[in-house]
Amino acid sequence: MSVKINTLEFENVKRIKALALEPSPNGLTVIGGRNNQGKTSVLDAICWALGGEKYRPSQAQREGALLPPTLKVTLSNGIVVERKGKNSALKVTDPNGNKSGQQLLNSFLEPLALDLPQFMNSSNKDKANTLLRIIGVGDKLDELERTEKEMYDKRHAIGQIADQKAKYAKEMVSYEGVPEIPISASDLIAQQQAILARNGENQRKRQLKAQYDYELEQARQALDEAKRRYAQAQANAQTAAKSAEDLVDESTAELEKNIADIDTINTKVRANLDKMKAEEEAKGYREQYDALTVQIEDVRKEKFDLLNNADLPLRGLSVADGELTFEGQKWDNMSGSQQLRVATAIVRKLNPECGFVLLDKLEQMDTDTLKEFGQWLESEGLQAIATRVSLGEECSIIIEDGYAAGENAIPVPASPEPEVITQPWNTGKF
Ligand SMILES: Nc1ncnc2c1ncn2[C@@H]1O[C@H](COP(=O)(O)OP(=O)(O)O)[C@@H](O)[C@H]1O
Ligand SMILES: [Mg+2]
C-alpha cells in the first residue's frame, strides 16, 4: 500500500500564517486562491517537512512572525513528521511511538514526486531513459537501436554505391543488331574455304569443257576417219556445255566484309557486355539495399514490441529515437495536461511506495480537463496536491493571506498570532 498524506498543519512557513488541510486520499486536492496568498508555500512546506534539509526554504519563517515555523504532517502509514522550535528540528514518530529520522522518510519518498518540474524540465532523452529504466528494457532497447543504426548506415552506403553504379551503367554506350557474344573469324574463314573449294571444282569443269572443245576440233579435222568418235565427242561436248551453262559461282563478298568488320563488331559486343555487367552490379547493390530495408523494419518492429509488451506506467507511452512519446507525440507536442499526466504516471512508477505527488500551477488545465485528470488520478489510486490561481469550485481549499478560507478548511489548532507587518500584496489588488 503506497503512502499518502493524511493531514497537514503548518504555521508561519513562508507566506503561510496558519493552515490545516486534510487532502483527499485519492485524486486531486486543489489549493486555490489569488496570487501571492500562500498556495505554493504549502507545497514548499510539504517538501521541507518530508524531503529534508535540502528543501528548507531560504527564508522559512514567515516575515513578521513572532514564532518560528511549525510543520506537522501525518501519513497514511501512521508516521508523524514534525518540525518545530528555533532550529525547526525534525521529529519523525513511527506508529509505535518510536523516534525515527529522515532515512525512514526517504525509504518511501520519491524526490521527483516532490519536485515534478525537475522531471518535466529534464531533457527529452532523460525522460525516455527514466521510462526505460522503470520498465527495465533500457539495455535491450540500446542494443536494438545500435543494431538499427549500424544497418541504417550500411544501407545508406550501399544505396549510394547502387545509385553510382546505375548512373555509370546508364551513361555507357550500347549497340543494336550485334550478336550477344563476340564472333570468331575461324567460322567465317572455314565457310570461305568451302566456297573456294566448290569454286575450284567449277574451274575444273570449265577446263574439261575446253578439253572437249579441243578434242571436237581434232575430231572435226579427222571427221572422216573418226565419224563415230566425232559423234561421241560431239555428244560429250554438248552435255558438258549444258552442265557448264547452269553453273553459278557463289560470292564471298559478304564474308570478306564481315571478316573485315570483326573488330568493329567485337568492340560493340564488348561494350554491350560491359553495360550488362554494370547493370547487374547495380541491381545487386539495389537488392542488398532492399534486403537491409527489410532487416531494419524487423529491428524496428522488435523495438516496438519490446516497448509495447512492457509494463508501461501509462498506456500510449513509448520511446522513439531515444525520446519519450505519448500517443505518438513527442514531449513538446503534448498538451500541458498530457505532459502532467505522463510525468505523474512515470514519477509514480519510480517509487510505487510514494502514493502522492505535488503539482504547482495547474492553471493550464481547464476545469473539464482538471476533472478528467482527477478521475485518472483516482483510478490510479494516486493522491495529488495541487495549486491553482482560482476561486472556483474545483478548489478543495482557498488560501487567502496565508489562511485557509474555504468550507473544507479544518480549524487550525493553534490560534494565529496578530499580524505585525501589513504587506501591500494582501490588500487584494493585483
Ligand atoms: N518568508 C516569507 N514571509 C513572508 N512572505 C513571504 C515569505 N517568503 C515568500 N513570501 C512571499 O509570499 C508570496 C508568494 O507566496 P506563494 O506561496 O508563492 O503564493 P502563491 O503561490 O499563492 O502565489 C510572495 O509575495 C513572496 O514575497
Ligand atoms: Mg504559486
Q: Are strands 356-359 and 383-389 parallel, antiparallel or unpaired?
A: parallel
- CB neighbour class for 386 (10 Å; exposed up to 12, middle 13-18, buried from 19): buried
Other Cβ atoms less than 10 A from the Cβ of 380: the count is 18
Q: For residue 44, which atom of ligand 1 is closest to its CA? A: 17
Query: How far, in Å, from the CA of 397 to the mean position of ligand 1?
Result: 17
Give yes or no for a contact between 83 and 90, defined as CB atoms under 8 angstroms apart: yes
Query: How far, in Å, from the CA of 38 to the mean position of ligand 1?
Result: 6
Please tell me the predicted confidence (pLDDT) of residue 376. 92
Please tell me the predicted confidence (pLDDT) of residue 226. 67
- CB neighbour class for 378 (10 Å; exposed up to 12, middle 13-18, buried from 19): middle
Tell me phi and psi for residue 407, to 5 degrees. -60, -40
Query: Ligand 1: residues whose CB is within 6 Å?
Result: 14-15, 33, 35-41, 59, 62-63, 387, 425
Within the chain, which residues score under 70 in pLDDT? 226, 406-430
String of DSSP letters for 103-118: HHHHHH--HHHH-HHH
Please tell me the predicted confidence (pLDDT) of residue 48. 97
Distance in angstroms between the alpha carbons of the first and the last residue of the chain: 44
Nearest CA, atom 20, ligand 1: 36
Q: For residue 60, which atom of ligand 1 is closest to its CA? A: 1
Whole-number Å distance between alpha carbons of 425 and 407: 24
Give yes or no for a contact between 100 and 89, defined as CB atoms under 8 angstroms apart: no
Contacts of 190 (CB under 8 A, 6+ apart): none
Domains of the chain: 5-109+351-427 (3.40.50.300), 185-271 (no CATH)
Q: For residue 37, which atom of ligand 1 is closest to its CA? A: 22
Query: How far, in Å, from the CA of 361 to the mean position of ligand 1?
Result: 14
Nearest CA, atom 6, ligand 1: 15
Nearest CA, atom 25, ligand 1: 36
Tell me phi and psi for residue 81, to 5 degrees. -115, 130
User: Is residue 392 left, alpha or beta, with left meaning phi > 0 and alpha meaning psi from -120 to 50?
Assistant: beta
